[in-house]
Amino acid sequence: MVRSVPIGAGSPITVQSMTNTDTRDVEATILQARRLASAGCDIVRIAIPDEDAAKALADIRNELDIPLVADIHFRHKLALLALEAGIDKLRINPGNIGSAERVREVADAAKEHGVPIRVGVNAGSLRKDILARHGRPSPEALAESAFEEVDVLGDAGFENVCVSIKASNVLNTLKANLLFAEKKNNPLHLGITESGTKTYGTIKSSCGLGSLLSHGIGDTMRVSLTADPVEEIIVGIAILKAMGLRQAGPEIVSCPTCGRTEVDIISLAEEVEKRAASISEPISIAVMGCVVNGPGEAREADYGIAGGKGEGLLFRNGEIVGKIPEDQLIDALFDMIAKDLNS
């Protein structure tokens, strides 16, 4: 449990992000966390680079309902301060948090506060001895690091552990998580670290996270993008929707353009997606480019339109309900949806 949010044991897969504000700026951090929550974020992680940031946590925690995770590197005392401030979860990195004794000290304090720990293993910060044994941050090296840290916490009597094993390489991340899941049943936090900008990072994250989710692996996730953190939530929710693991608002099904298209299908689809964003019900809407195959290809959709020359078809559950002038097609579609949802 992270505050009131369960992770693992068949619970819904949660979507996380991380604030990029200066944590010492309490107001800015609170405002960004609220934006993330409004976008559908389930858990927010906050960087704690120094003691001032750790001390700011108490004020941040008091103003927010969403579960908060303290991201700790290098100085284990910051983890202790975060626990005193009322943090809901700790994230530590086995490659840089320090000796086993320091890890045990953090574990004891977390146990006293009833706070879980995420072990974060990253390809870029493996311990030198593990790198020396494997020669590079291979999947086997990543998995070994995770095994060791879980065992250290277990030896300290601490079992409330979530694990993340991340690399910027999709295949390394995939294999490392598969290796870990073969031997351990800790909840897994998924992500492709440093995946890149919004476009390419979305592609990499979708490939990696989608592959792991298709294996039944993953309990919580973050899409790491060089972008506004809200974009991470949008992409994360979209991945879960595409994998059939979350129902959240409309799913838009739209065809590619082809030589039969006689309407501006790109603009139609973009406008439908924009207007559908205000709908919370999990419905499917199809936007087809021609009247020849449109209704048939979108038979599984709840609602849809199929464009023609100057006009288009409006349909519900694969059945045509009307022929509408092109410039009225979208209005007619959303009038029908609104009437059905409000009836």
pLDDT of 140-189, one tens digit each?
Answer: 999 999 999 899 889 888 999 999 999 999 999 999 999 999 999 999 99
DSSP per-residue string spanning 138-193: -HHHHHHHHHHHHHHHHHTT---EEEEEE-SSHHHHHHHHHHHHHH----EEE--T
CA-closest candidate to residue 46, choices 81, 72, 74: 72
Residue recorded with tokens 């609170």? 30
In angstroms, rounded to a whole number, what is the distance separating the alpha carbons of residues 212 and 194?
A: 18
Name the residue ranges covered by the structural domains of the chain: 14-242, 251-342
pLDDT of 45-92, one tens digit each?
Answer: 999 999 999 999 999 999 999 999 999 988 999 999 999 999 999 998
DSSP per-residue string spanning 91-152: EE-TTTS--HHHHHHHHHHHHHHT--EEEEEEGGG--HHHHHHHSS--HHHHHHHHHHHHHH
pLDDT at 94 over 70: no
251-342 belongs to CATH 3.30.413.10: yes
pLDDT computed for residue 210 by the predictor: 97
In angstroms, rounded to a whole number, what is the distance separating the alpha carbons of residues 172 and 208?
A: 10
In angstroms, rounded to a whole number, what is the distance separating the alpha carbons of residues 168 and 175?
A: 13
Give the angle subtended at the CA of 247 by the CAs of 244 and 252, to the nearest 5°: 80
- Mean pLDDT is lowest, of 96-100, 175-179, 205-209, 217-221, for 96-100
pLDDT computed for residue 207 by the predictor: 97
pLDDT computed for residue 256 by the predictor: 83
Q: What pTM did the predictor assign?
A: 0.89
14-242 has which CATH code? Answer: 3.20.20.20
pLDDT computed for residue 293 by the predictor: 64
Radius of gyration of the chain (CA): 23
**For residue 278, how many other CB atoms are within 10 A of its CB?**
9
